[in-house]
């Protein structure tokens, strides 16, 4: 009784730069369609994802943190009642570096079969992580395609 989404991308950068891009709000906003993660980034600290319009889309807690290698977040959507009802998911970010390239693996899982939440983030992560890769490699994120703007609605 579980569901998961896994995404792997290879980015020409360093683990430290990628870590900053993942955890610093001013950086996150550039590729996460205006959203930012807010946390003190310590084990047990609270965590939230604030959308561009100021709403808190998701909340949770830092379960594991090992800079710049691994981050695990306990994560629940707050805006969509049917997703909130599914309870907490767990999102792990793993960074592995070799020869100037970092492999970023995002594993987002939940203890619910056919999860609406996992379906939702399965559409969002490829856009966010594609944009993150563009930003780190070219210095520019792309504009939010109209087709993707639903990502902002949580």
> In this chain, which of 145, 150, 152, 153 binds another protein, going by CB under 8 A?
145
Nearest CB to another protein, comparing residues 38 and 126: 126
Q: Does 11 bind another protein (CB under 8 A)?
A: yes
By rule CB under 8 A, what count of residues binds another protein? 26
Q: Does 53 bind another protein (CB under 8 A)?
A: no
Instruction: Tell me the C-alpha distance between 114 and 88, whole Å.
Output: 15
Q: Does 137 bind another protein (CB under 8 A)?
A: yes
Nearest approach in angstroms of CB 32 to another protein is 13
Q: Does 131 bind another protein (CB under 8 A)?
A: yes
Site for another protein in 75-94 (CB under 8 A): none
Q: Does 113 bind another protein (CB under 8 A)?
A: no
Q: Does 107 bind another protein (CB under 8 A)?
A: no
Region binding another protein by CB under 8 A among candidate stretches 36-44, 45-53, 69-77, 141-149? 141-149
Instruction: Tell me the C-alpha distance between 51 and 109, whole Å.
Output: 22
Nearest approach in angstroms of CB 24 to another protein is 22
Three-state SS letters, the chain: CCEEEEEEEEECCCHHHHHHHHHCHHHHHHHCCCCEEEECCCCCCEEEEECCCCCEEEEEEEEEEECCCEEEEEEEECCCHHHHCCCCEEEEEEEEEECCEEEEEEEEEECCCCCHHHHHHHHHHHHHHHHHHHHHHHCCCCCCCHHHHHHHHC
Q: Does 1 bind another protein (CB under 8 A)?
A: no
């Amino acid at each position: 009784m579980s569901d998961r989404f896994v995404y792997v991308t290879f980015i020409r950068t360093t683990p430290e730069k990628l870590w900053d891009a993942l955890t610093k709000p001013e950086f996150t906003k550039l590729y996460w369609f205006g959203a930012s993660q807010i946390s003190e980034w310590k084990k047990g600290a609270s965590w939230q994802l604030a959308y561009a319009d100021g709403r808190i889309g998701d909340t949770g807690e830092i379960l594991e943190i090992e800079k710049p290698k691994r981050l695990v977040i306990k994560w629940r959507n707050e805006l969509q009642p049917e997703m909130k009802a599914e309870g907490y998911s767990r999102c792990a970010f793993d960074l592995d570096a070799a020869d100037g390239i970092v492999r970023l693996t995002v594993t987002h899982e939940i203890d619910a079969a056919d999860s609406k939440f996992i379906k939702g983030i399965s559409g969002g992560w490829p856009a966010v992580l594609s944009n993150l890769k563009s930003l780190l490699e070219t210095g520019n994120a792309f504009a939010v395609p109209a087709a993707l703007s639903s990502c902002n609605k949580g």
